[in-house]
Structures are given as C-alpha cells and as structure tokens.
Amino acid sequence: MLKERINIENIDGQLFEIKIIEPDDSKPASFTHYLYNHKNGISQFYKKDALCFVKQILEKEYPNEQITQEFAEEALQYLIFDFNKAVPFPAPEKPKFKFIDLFAGIGGFRLAFQNLEGKCVFTSKWDKYSKQTYKANFGEIPFGDITKPETKNYIPDSFDVLCAGFPCQAFSIAGRRGGFGYNDKFNNLGVTLSGRAFRSNLFARSSQKGFPLQSLTQKLVA
C-alpha cells in the first residue's frame, strides 16, 4: 500500500530544497507549524497549506500514482506523531501559555520562553541560513518576510506573548535613537509588529542600552 511507504524522512529531506527555489512559498513553514501544533487548535491556521505541501511532495515522489486530495489528507494525518523527541530543544509537554516569535534569528527568544513553559505557535525570519539553524533546533521552518500581508495572515488570533528581536538601529545608542518616531526601513519593521502587540497580553523585545523596555512600552501605549 502506498501509505505504508510514506515516512517523514522522505518529506522532511525536501523542505529546504523547495524553500530555496521558491523563497516566498509558505507551504513548507505551514507544514512544520501544522505538525508541531497538532495538539492544539492553532494547527488549523496551517492545515490548508500543509495539505497542499504534502500533496505536492507526494506527486513528486510518486509520479506514477494518482494523489487525490483525500489521500493527501490521510497522509498528512499519518505523518503526525510526537516530533518533540526528535529535536534538540523540544517544547514543554504541558505549556502554560502560547507565544509568537518574530525576527526569530536562530531561536534565542524561543528557548528562553520554552524554559518558562511557553509554547511557540508562530515564528518568522527571512534569512534562509537562520531558518535552517532554527529548524535544526526546534523542528519548525520560520515563515518569511513579516512585512508582507500574506505572511502576517498566518499569525494566529490566539496567543499570550509576542516576542520580537527586530532591528535595533532606531533604538540603540549607536544609532539615531529616534524610537518608533524615526522613519527608516529598519524601524518600520518594529512599527509593523507594534499593532500585533495589542493582541497579546505581553510584548517582549530584545533591549538596547539607553532605550529600556519600559520606554518602548510607553511609546507603544501612547
């Protein structure tokens, strides 16, 4: 039976091959986010693209087979198991809160909040090498450019904490220190996410000397 020949290694080995060819393709990220959120309702945000991704890979792997939508759905469910044991930094078994990880780098923020018993339900980073390291650490491929509406549309409605390590040029003492009032391409990334902060109970960002988190929070609330 075809299903019995399907395994996660066949699909997982092709994730970055497709991502590099199509840098704006969010389906590989949706696939990994779906698998790692299958125990909570967040997975439904990613199911449509995850299903498309599985169907695409199966059609490539088995060109002589007819891959129906129903079969792809069955295969997607067949692939679900406890991935946490296969990654160096697994999420807690019984998380106490949910957070999203923007401008994620290789996952420093995520590791800290996982240690506080949080579960990451969305992550984004545009650099492909950071994405590869992030996947190696946590099993998930980050989504891409957070300034694009199609990327922001993947952010779930339900999360408790927004984490962000966005560019610090507008806040650092080595920069202009204009905060959110300074208009440049780097600072606009911070402005892009500020509206999302109000959908969460807490907004956490990497801090810079001379512009503490309290000052940033006051500017967001003003």
Residues 74 and 95 in one domain: no
Predicted local confidence at residue 98, as pLDDT? 93
Predicted local confidence at residue 52, as pLDDT? 94
Residues 144 and 161 in one domain: yes
Residues 132 and 204 in one domain: yes
What 8-state DSSP symbol labels residue 4? G
Domain that holds residue 26: 1-82
pLDDT digit string, tens, across residues 54-90 = 899 888 888 888 889 998 888 888 787 656 567 899 9
CATH of the domain at 95: 3.40.50.150
Predicted local confidence at residue 167, as pLDDT? 62
- Amino acid 71 reads F
Last residue of a domain, one of 33, 59, 82: 82
- Angstrom distance (rounded) from CA 175 to CA 190: 15
For this structure, is 168 an active site residue? yes
Closest by CA position to 205, among listed 104, 111, 121, 72 = 104
Predicted local confidence at residue 20, as pLDDT? 42
On whether the CB atoms of residues 141 and 104 are closer than 8 A, the answer is no
pLDDT digit string, tens, across residues 90-115 = 999 899 999 999 889 999 989 999 99
Q: Which of 52, 120, 163, 168 is catalytic?
A: 168
Residues 16 and 123 in one domain: no
Predicted local confidence at residue 48, as pLDDT? 94
Total domains in the chain come to: 2
Low pLDDT (below 70) residues in the chain: 1-24, 81-85, 166-222
